């Protein structure tokens, strides 16, 4: 429990309006988009590195757990303060410090919203590709801490591929600067990347430097309907074989198609096993050529319907089905849990089939959409968290899906993170050697175990 | 809350998956950046309240009321959560438990008593106009300087008309024109423009004598009993079968007829048959006119330069009624207008009924952003189909902006009569509409 003296000290650092310890506001910082909750004892909204540093000095002196939080959209419970203590909310630390056209880099604070950042770049003809599903709301600090991906990862990679430097406040309150504005940097260990995806367990990110690329001239999406899922899976592999690297390659499965159709009435073919979405970008001539070749390829591979967007509106129309998948599913049942298993692209169809089998085995409704181009599946488990019997089956199904992904040469999570959701199963993939090193890294940065404790790796 | 309301509220809040996708859409959240202002946060808090985890505390009340009811979260929610219904139920509960503050109660009592309202406004006209012109120039109401509040019509608009207004030429149809309080008492010139345009469409225009305030201000403040009489009176007057359409020039009145009336009657366990008829007949005047824009003899003999115009989407039109293309179609058809779209045209202006007076600091940021977007377009006119938005935008604009805030039909009317735009006053001169 925080004493009144400590509370007063913390409040004095940020001041009225950016400090909360009343019941209502604490409840408001007790959750994220995952199903687990935990109430903090104080919520603070710093606006500068100095404030974060002063807060951490108090926290380490008093051994208070500190959980960093951006927009609170984490799907694995990473921003839930399960041990109480302090929630550090970075939403007000949201200044874009610099967009440097000459060096093609941007420097900003962690509370900047991904989409807001994108808008500023678009005005200048620049581009930062990572586009997690939450991009309209999620903060860049959270994107870095989770190493967020998104559909465009096929061609452009994920957050870590753009990250050049960080400013991090350590558990002790000391300020660490890593990397910088150069694209190349092999000076010392790559501490920058160590923090990327560390989920707030190693330090608190207070400033971010990323590289930028030119905004592609144009983009075009193509939608192909397949009667057989395996044909769609083989098509994914063939796209690369014929020498095309698409921006995004998405598969919507049969359960999803029907769930979407029930709600949106878009006229999707209910009998189809897969909807394949392919987006290409680049100069107009290249895009026209590639979309022509892809249309032909899809037909050859057994697609019985191929549609190419001719306008921006048609492009959006095609993406509408994919984008509605979460909402259409979420409307069916009170709880929707987005899974994130990832396999090598060659095992994509096998993983789809496993999910179907597991859904039947545990009698659950699990529509699947996948970033097929990088083997990242999102089975959406539709359930009701108040139904304890069903939740037992859900837990078993998630466990089995996760293990299958690893057995197929894949990984537990492609872009959502370990958080609380997958910490028990983490050793299954990492093994004891990697677990020991992971624990030691955690202890090096956070000897008192106060930074987002109980997340990712459990320290006993 | 009674059992039905409690169950309805529970069902809605249980749909929320806490995904947070509503976060960025909320204009209030964008200003304050705390979870208490997040639609998701408010929904979660209501859930805790219903579970008995928190009482109806001062902070809880404040969190629930710091909402514009702009419905942007509703539109953006993948799970279909109707945030607005939850917050309306909570507001009603608040009124039940604590009552309204005396100022709002006084205003709503006036609005729900047409005779009293009529006579009060006539007396108020002299007092208000004189007072503001002479004494209260430096005072502010919310963020709006008193001098920028709209002037009272010299004579209530409806008083000029008795019976049916005949069209120019052989009548093609007959409509009801529901003027709403604002046009009646403050924006007579908007009413005149609407009448002129409808006459040119060769319509018989009936302005119902037994017209009452639509009552939505009271309903959305959680007062669901006081306005019931108005609601029933309006439904019975307007749902009569002998007109082709019921046209409104006010976003809020339209939202009342198309949405809130039926909700309220259902809640009270009353029959909604007539209300459904009214819903079916109601159109915003811009929708009706846009469909018939080709029938209007627009003057092509403009020699002067085109005037740049932009349009702001009122919450009660774009979200509550799904109206957004009609006003643009009208403006783009006008020979004297160069239409430009502003960024985030459908973002709330920050007025939110009484929100801007209850939370002026938050409203200031939201309205400031809207005005910035308007200025960026370089437009000389910002048009919008909601009197509330016109007061908010106009009242927060500087005189040196030299931007006029008008209803789109005022521009259309000028394209029919050839009246120059210099006849329209700029915002900040106290004569907004």
* Nearest CA-CA distance, residue A417 and chain B, Å: 16
CB distance A326–B19 less than 8 Å?
A: yes
- pLDDT value, residue B421: 64
CATH number of A216-332: 3.30.70.2190
- Segment B56-94, tens digit of pLDDT: 999 999 999 999 999 999 998 988 999 999 999 999 998
Q: Where in chain A is the domain with CATH 3.30.43.10?
A: 4-89
Which residues, other chains included, contact A327 with Cβ-Cβ below 8 Å and sequence gap of 6+? A263, B77, B78, B79, B80
Mean pLDDT for the stretch of residues B268-293: 96
Mean pLDDT for the stretch of residues B190-194: 95
Q: In what order do the strands lie in the sheet with A274-282?
A: A303-308, A218-226, A274-282, A248-253, A368-371, A376-383, A335-338
- pLDDT value, residue A179: 97
Return the closest-CA partner of residue B173 out of B196, B198, B209.
B198
Mean pLDDT for the stretch of residues B293-310: 84
Residue B129 pLDDT greater than 70, yes or no:
no
Q: Which two tokens stand for residue B263?
A: 């909700």
CB contacts, 8 Å: B38 with chain A: 28
Residue B105 pLDDT greater than 80, yes or no:
no
The rounded mean pLDDT for chain B is: 89
Q: Where in chain A is the domain with CATH 3.30.465.10?
A: 96-214
Contact B284, B38 (CB under 8 A): no
Query: In angstroms, how far is CA A416 from the centroid of its own chain?
Result: 4
* Nearest CA-CA distance, residue B339 and chain A, Å: 21
Least CB–CB distance from B59: residue in A22, A94, A115: A22
Mean pLDDT for the stretch of residues B280-302: 91
Domain coordinates in residue numbering, chain B: 3-98, 295-423
What residue of A is the nearest CA neighbor of B35?
A: A28
Tell me if chain A has a CB within 8 Å of the CB of B56.
no
Tell me if chain A has a CB within 8 Å of the CB of B325.
no
Architecture of the domain made up of A4-89: 2-Layer Sandwich (3.30)
- Segment B194-234, tens digit of pLDDT: 999 999 999 999 998 777 899 998 999 889 998 999 999 99
CB contacts, 8 Å: B15 with chain A: 330-331, 334
Q: Dihedrals φ, ψ of A276, to 5°? A: -110, 125
- pLDDT value, residue A339: 96
CB contacts, 8 Å: B82 with chain A: none
Mean pLDDT for the stretch of residues B376-390: 96
- Segment B148-162, tens digit of pLDDT: 778 888 888 998 887
Residue B431 pLDDT greater than 90, yes or no:
no
* Mutation site for B-interface testing, chosen from A43, A47, A137, A380 by largest number of B Cβ within 10 Å: A137
- Segment B40-57, tens digit of pLDDT: 999 999 999 999 999 999
Is CATH 3.30.465.10 the right assignment for the domain spanning A96-214? yes
Percent of chain B with pLDDT over 70: 91
Residue A51 CB burial class (10 angstroms; 0-12, 13-18, ≥19):
buried
pLDDT-derived band at B120, boundaries 50, 70, 90: confident
* Nearest CA-CA distance, residue B262 and chain A, Å: 24
* Nearest CA-CA distance, residue A4 and chain B, Å: 21
CATH class entry, domain B295-423? alpha beta
- pLDDT value, residue B143: 82
Tell me if chain B has a CB within 8 Å of the CB of A134.
yes
Q: Which of A123-127, B37-41, B380-384, B395-399 has the lowest mean pLDDT?
A: B395-399
Return the closest-CA partner of residue A380 out of A317, A331, A434, A345.
A331
Q: Where in chain A is the domain with CATH 3.30.70.2190?
A: 216-332
- pLDDT value, residue B303: 60
CB contacts, 8 Å: A28 with chain B: 34-36, 38, 41, 44-45
Query: From the CA atom positions of chain B, what is the Rg in Å?
Result: 21
Counting as low any pLDDT under 70, the low residues of chain A are none
- pLDDT value, residue A324: 86
Q: Which two tokens stand for residue A165?
A: 């430097």
pLDDT-derived band at B428, boundaries 50, 70, 90: very low
Is CATH 1.10.1060.10 the right assignment for the domain spanning B3-98? yes
- pLDDT value, residue B100: 79
CATH number of A333-423: 3.30.70.2740
Least CB–CB distance from B79: residue in A24, A138, A330: A330
- pLDDT value, residue B318: 97
ipTM value, please give it: 0.93
Q: Which of B109-113, B129-133, B210-214, B249-253 has the lowest mean pLDDT?
A: B129-133
Residue B433 pLDDT greater than 80, yes or no:
no
Tell me if chain B has a CB within 8 Å of the CB of A15.
no
Spatial distance between the Cα atoms of B42 and B54, rounded to a whole number of angstroms: 13
Spatial distance between the Cα atoms of A134 and A415, rounded to a whole number of angstroms: 12
Spatial distance between the Cα atoms of A398 and A191, rounded to a whole number of angstroms: 33
Residue B430 pLDDT greater than 70, yes or no:
no
């Amino acid at each position: 429990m925080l004493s009144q003296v400590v509370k007063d000290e913390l409040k004095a650092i940020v001041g009225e309006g950016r400090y909360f310890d009343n019941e209502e506001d604490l409840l408001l910082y007790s959750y994220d988009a995952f199903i687990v909750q935990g109430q903090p004892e104080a919520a603070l909204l710093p606006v500068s590195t100095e404030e974060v540093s002063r807060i951490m000095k108090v926290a380490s002196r008093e051994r208070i757990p500190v959980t960093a939080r951006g927009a609170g959209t984490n799907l694995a419970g990473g921003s839930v303060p399960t041990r109480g203590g302090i929630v550090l909310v970075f939403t007000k630390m949201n200044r874009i410090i610099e967009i440097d056209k000459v060096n093609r880099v941007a420097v900003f604070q962690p509370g900047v919203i991904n989409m807001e950042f994108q808008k500023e770049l678009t005005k200048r003809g620049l581009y930062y590709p990572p586009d997690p599903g939450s991009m309209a709301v999620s903060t860049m600090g959270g994107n870095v801490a989770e190493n967020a991906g998104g559909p465009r990862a096929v061609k452009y990679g994920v957050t870590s591929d753009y990250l050049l430097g960080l400013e991090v406040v350590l558990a002790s309150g000391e300020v660490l600067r890593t990397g910088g504005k150069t694209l190349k940097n092999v000076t010392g260990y790559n501490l920058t990347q160590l923090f990327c995806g560390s989920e707030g367990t190693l330090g608190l990110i207070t400033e971010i430097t990323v590289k930028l690329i030119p905004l592609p001239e144009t983009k075009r999406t193509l939608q192909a309907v397949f009667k057989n899922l395996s044909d769609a899976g083989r098509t994914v592999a063939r796209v690369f074989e014929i020498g095309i690297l698409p921006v995004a390659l998405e598969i919507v499965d049969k359960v999803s198609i029907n769930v979407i159709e029930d709600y949106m009435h878009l006229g999707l073919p209910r009998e189809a096993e897969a909807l394949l979405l392919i987006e290409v970008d680049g100069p107009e001539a290249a895009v026209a050529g590639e979309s022509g070749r892809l249309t032909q390829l899809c037909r050859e591979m057994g697609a019985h319907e191929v549609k190419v967007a001719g306008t921006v509106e048609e492009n959006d129309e095609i993406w509408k089905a994919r984008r509605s998948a979460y909402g259409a599913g979420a409307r069916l049942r009170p709880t929707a849990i987005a899974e994130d298993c990832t396999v090598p692209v060659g095992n994509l169809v096998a993983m789809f089939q496993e999910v179907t089998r597991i859904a039947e085995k545990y009698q659950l409704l699990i529509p699947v959409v996948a970033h097929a181009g990088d083997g990242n599946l999102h089975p959406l488990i539709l359930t009701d968290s108040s139904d304890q019997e069903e939740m037992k089956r859900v837990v078993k199904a998630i466990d089995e899906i996760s293990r299958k992904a690893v057995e197929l040469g894949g990984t537990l999570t492609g872009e959502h993170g370990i958080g609380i959701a997958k910490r028990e199963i983490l050793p299954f993939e990492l093994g004891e050697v990697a677990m020991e090193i992971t624990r030691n890294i955690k202890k090096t940065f956070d000897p008192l175990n106060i930074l987002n404790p109980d997340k990712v790796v459990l320290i006993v | 809350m009674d059992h039905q309301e409690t169950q309805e509220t529970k069902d809605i809040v249980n749909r929320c998956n806490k995904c947070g996708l509503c976060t960025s859409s909320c204009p209030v959240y964008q200003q304050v950046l705390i979870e208490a202002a997040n639609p998701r946060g408010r929904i979660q808090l209501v859930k805790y309240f219903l579970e008995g985890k928190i009482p109806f505390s001062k902070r809880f009340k404040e969190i629930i009321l710091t909402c514009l009811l702009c419905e942007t979260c509703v539109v953006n929610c993948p799970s279909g959560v109707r945030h607005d219904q939850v917050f309306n139920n909570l507001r009603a509960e608040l009124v039940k438990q604590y009552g309204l503050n005396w100022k709002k109660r006084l205003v709503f009592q006036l609005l729900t008593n047409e005779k009293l309202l009529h006579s009060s406004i006539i007396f108020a006209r002299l007092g208000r106009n004189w007072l503001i012109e002479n004494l209260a120039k430096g005072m502010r109401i919310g963020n709006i300087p008193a001098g920028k509040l709209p002037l009272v019509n010299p004579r209530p608009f409806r008083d000029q008309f008795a019976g049916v207004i005949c069209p120019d030429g052989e009548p093609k149809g007959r409509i009801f024109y529901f003027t709403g309080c604002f046009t009646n008492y403050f924006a007579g010139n908007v009413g005149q423009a609407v009448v002129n345009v409808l006459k040119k469409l060769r319509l018989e225009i009936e302005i119902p004598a037994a017209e009452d305030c639509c009552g939505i201000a009271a309903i959305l403040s959680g007062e669901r009993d006081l306005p019931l009489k108005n609601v029933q009176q309006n439904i019975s007057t307007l749902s009569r079968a002998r007109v082709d359409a019921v046209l409104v020039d006010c976003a809020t009145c339209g939202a009342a007829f198309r949405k809130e009336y039926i909700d309220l009657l259902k809640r009270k366990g009353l029959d909604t048959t007539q209300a459904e008829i009214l819903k079916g007949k109601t159109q915003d005047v811009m929708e009706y006119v846009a469909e018939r824009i080709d029938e209007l003899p627009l003057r092509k003999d403009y020699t002067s330069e085109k005037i740049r115009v932009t349009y702001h989407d009122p919450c009660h039109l774009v979200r509550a009624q799904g109206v957004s293309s009609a006003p643009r179609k009208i403006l783009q058809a006008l020979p004297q207008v160069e239409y430009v779209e502003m960024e985030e045209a459908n973002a709330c202006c920050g007025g939110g009924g009484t929100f801007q007076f209850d939370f002026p600091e938050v409203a200031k940021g939201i309205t400031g952003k809207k005005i910035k977007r308007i200025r960026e377009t370089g437009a000389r006119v910002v048009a919008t189909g909601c009197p509330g938005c016109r007061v908010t935008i106009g009242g927060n604009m500087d005189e040196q902006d030299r931007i006029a805030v008008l209803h789109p039909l005022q521009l259309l009317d000028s394209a029919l009569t050839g009246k120059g735009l210099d006849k329209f006053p700029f915002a900040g001169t106290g004569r907004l509409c």
